[in-house]
Amino acid sequence: MIRFASAQLDSWLAEKKRKPLVIRGARQVGKTWIVRDLSKRNGLKLIELNFERNPALADLFTSNNPKEILKNLEIEFETLIDPDASLLFLDEIQAAPEIFARLRWFKEDLGNIPLIAAGSLLEFALKEYQYSMPVGRITYFFLEPFSFFEFLLVTGNEFLLKKLETFSLNDTIPESIHKKCLGLYHDYCLVGGMPESLQKWADTKNLNDCIKIQQDLLSTFRDDFYKYGGQFDPGLLFKLFISVSKQLGNKFVYKRVDPLAKSLLIKKSLSMLSQARIFTKIMHTSGNGLPLGAESNENFFKMLLIDIGLVSVQLGLSQMTQSKADRMTFLNKGGLSEQFVGQQIRSSQAPLTDPALFYWQRTGGRQGETDYIIQHGNCVVPVEIKSGTAGSMKSLHQFMADKKLDLAVRFNSNLPSTEKINVKTTKGDSISYTLISIPLYLAQQTNNLLTEFV
């Protein structure tokens, strides 16, 4: 399996003055694999410690002298460690968060040995130990599930991937290739981008095998919740996972999780699972300018699950007949298309930036909502998602008029197009703007296509 993020790891490894690198990401997104792959591809001797499996190894890092720590590691592993030919990997470091403070000394006193730390519940350790973090002496790396383009590569569609990666708004996509892309989009919606499920699909093309893996992953996430620092009702956790899947595409409402549960408890559970990167909060933005989060209403937000394949399992799409599942997927059942686009936007922002998603919703008076708001350079660009071939865009028209913008993006299942919109809003305002329509399967190319157009 090939990860696009590996190229950024190679660049980090080649830096002469590199800092220790901390990989952040949810459980089972492939953090350990990508480090082992980095070591193997570059011929480095991997010195791997797992502090969750063996907490006693933390005693090897009590010194502030990296050279002394290295000697301790040589004794522990009964091997010589050449800093120039080795890679030190501290896995599940959240089980020994005090080691974070030691990372600064590796940057200052032993910078020639590449050092990577990773952990599944890292966000909690980082929050608790923020005071001792070696600010300015480490760099962060954010790993997401496999994107749709990575899915194409893993499933043997290299030539199609090359076409999509180099696609220009001046190019055309033949109808037969377009239909193939929509079929693969549907497959991705069911299989998702979690490495184990995707690998099983690539090996067997057996969706039932993938479903079993996905169900096990969901159970693992819920079981892990007890490690997040609180005792919560397992029944509420199950309802929360289901509710996030069902409320995709809509403002999240606590009462829809469980009318009898206290909103404060639901809010706390939702916050902690978001910190663990199992859920993603789509934050409200006014859309008046940059940064997008400057004028936000915290009472308005939407939620995504970590992976679209897990959403499909929760909604039962994976167990439907093929024709019915196709229909439900493209009819945007449960906001599946918004989950897909949000996941691709996050993938395009990672791994060097902590992904963030925004949307706009009118907070008073008449209803109105724009599915996503993205930043492109110095521009605010609204994104509308229509999983079928058509649909009303009244809210988008009004948003463009209110914010005086001249460029918007629409995702749907049509072929790519660019058109000039000249309409009157429901309030009678005349508005003129350019609308770029992009097939859902090209969501990961959004920034490149916008750059080309601008």
Using 50 as the pLDDT threshold, list the residues of the chain that sit under it: 330-334
Which of 116, 142, 168 is at the close of a domain?
Answer: 142
Looking at the fold, whether 153 and 74 belong to one and the same domain comes out as no
Is 326 contained in some domain? yes
Q: Which of 120, 82, 73, 126 is nearest to 101 (CA)?
A: 126
Q: Which of 408, 414, 407, 405 is nearest to 438 (CA)?
A: 414
Distance CA 340, CA 332 (A): 10
Is 340 contained in some domain? yes
Give the SS3 label for residue 421. strand
Looking at the fold, whether 216 and 323 belong to one and the same domain comes out as yes
Looking at the fold, whether 84 and 159 belong to one and the same domain comes out as no
* pLDDT value of position 200: 98
* pLDDT value of position 222: 83
* pLDDT value of position 121: 79
* pLDDT value of position 131: 52
Is 196 contained in some domain? yes
Looking at the fold, whether 73 and 160 belong to one and the same domain comes out as no
Which of 142, 158, 176 is at the close of a domain?
Answer: 142
Looking at the fold, whether 395 and 443 belong to one and the same domain comes out as yes
Looking at the fold, whether 125 and 206 belong to one and the same domain comes out as no
Looking at the fold, whether 257 and 198 belong to one and the same domain comes out as yes
Looking at the fold, whether 221 and 312 belong to one and the same domain comes out as yes
* pLDDT value of position 326: 55
What's the CATH number where 56 sits? 3.40.50.300
Looking at the fold, whether 137 and 75 belong to one and the same domain comes out as yes
Give the SS3 label for residue 51. coil
Distance CA 23, CA 310 (A): 23
Judge whether 350 and 149 are in contact, CB under 8 Å.
no
Residues facing residue 139 across a β-bridge: 21
Number of domains forming the structure of the chain: 2
* pLDDT value of position 76: 97
401: containing domain: 149-453
Is 195 contained in some domain? yes
Q: Is the pTM of this model over 0.75?
A: yes
Looking at the fold, whether 383 and 299 belong to one and the same domain comes out as yes
Looking at the fold, whether 315 and 192 belong to one and the same domain comes out as yes
Is 1 contained in some domain? no
pLDDT digits (tens, 9 = 90+) for 198-217: 999 999 999 999 999 999 99
* pLDDT value of position 319: 74
* pLDDT value of position 229: 53
Which of 96, 118, 142 is at the close of a domain?
Answer: 142
Is 383 contained in some domain? yes
Looking at the fold, whether 96 and 159 belong to one and the same domain comes out as no
